[in-house]
A and B are shown apart, each in its own frame.
Chain A
């Protein structure tokens, strides 16, 4: 993407005003790593949102609040009670990209291979959007289609709120790749709520290998009310085929990707159960 101008607004209100005026000729810039690869022959004005105090992680009541311009490396290094976000952030791209690329950039425009939408869907996160004032919405709504629809008129994603996991909750994520720093083939995230060895509720989401990140409702349904055991997890993972339209590519068949997803779901569920049973954070 070509840049014709580069501006540094002094406040969130000013950033919104600029983006509003620019319309399709404006583009918010945080880490900027994805901008280099975006098509578009018409030059745009980059609106730098990295100097507006949007880089932070803090625990506030029942949520961890992560500023939209927080680099992935900071999320990877952060440690809070029952914190689970570091594992997936460690698996995104390389050290140099994680230092620059932000959580907001990973989810404001959803690329098919993005990992964080998957994790945030499973975590039941909330997304904070500034439109003169801030309001938040659940991940299910935010990721129901490309979030660009929410940012028309210059509105901006300002923070991500992640529920602090309770003692009997467990989270697990798996990213299947060809090599350590490659884009994801399949990403799975699972949140389990256990009560005495029984699965009280489950949220399982997938990304990559399908057209757009989504929850796997048939997998979740196969877990609810059952015992948290490998046999149950395996049976639930087998519902992956019915849960989403898996897509092949790069020499891999759709059937192979589905099988990869099933194995990854099993792994993610095992990890989530282990976490819920009291894994060291």
Chain B
């Protein structure tokens, strides 16, 4: 089955798109061949989290999702989270904390943290750990990632309520 005889429509980073695909193509493979290469291929079996994307605002492994499953839904990749010139707060804090070594896990970490920040109002450690439990890092031992995330969350919690509401309404398309 290498024949390209199917199409899938979904919103990708806010834009409506149509892609040619195959029934057994993974969303991860589609995204990467279409140039969205910030989403990484790590283990390919739903363990490491390097391929994490948001599907209707929820963190999902793109390696365990057939592209066809995304039909009509909203997909967001790391490309929507920030850019080199204009990084998100968490991305800034990761750099500041020295939390990025090889960097391969970071796109997935950022996407899981994005789901956390857009979904949860109370950001206690237990909830944070729950949202981050599907992302592995083999370099840092997590401590610096945790420091960067906690700083980001504390900063968000201290921000005026109006700004929080504005930023959270962006992603909640449930």
- Pairwise interchain contact B6-A6, C-beta atoms closer than 8 A: yes
- Taking a contact as CB atoms closer than 8 A, the residue among B26, B61, B71 that contacts A97 in the complex is B61
Q: Is the interface of A mostly helix, strand, loop or mixed?
A: mixed
A52 to chain B, nearest CB (A): 14
B112 within 8 A of A: yes
Q: Does B60 contact A (CB under 8 A)?
A: yes
A36-B46, A94-B49 given; A99·B58 CB < 8 A: yes
Sorting the interface of chain B by its residue count into under 10, 10 to 19, 20 to 34 or 35 or more gives 20 to 34
Scan B3-28; emit 1 where CB is below 8 A from any A CB, else 0: 00010000000000000000110100
CA separation between A124 and B19, bound complex, in Å? 46
The stretch of B79-87, B130-138, B146-154 that contacts the partner chain: B130-138
Q: Indicate whether A59 reaches chain B with its CB closer than 8 angstroms.
A: no
**B161 CB within 8 Å of chain A:** no
Partner-B contacts on A (CB < 8 A): 2-6, 8, 29, 32-33, 36-37, 43, 45-46, 48, 50, 73, 90, 93-97, 99-100, 180-181
Give 27 A-B contacts (CB < 8 Å), ordered by A residue. Answer: A2-B24, A5-B23, A6-B68, A32-B64, A32-B65, A33-B61, A33-B64, A36-B46, A36-B63, A37-B45, A43-B24, A50-B69, A90-B130, A93-B134, A94-B46, A94-B49, A94-B133, A95-B132, A96-B46, A96-B59, A96-B61, A96-B134, A99-B59, A100-B60, A100-B61, A100-B65, A180-B133
- Which B positions have Cβ atoms within 8 angstroms of A? 1, 6, 23-24, 26, 45-47, 49, 52, 55, 58-61, 63-66, 68-69, 71, 112, 115, 130-134
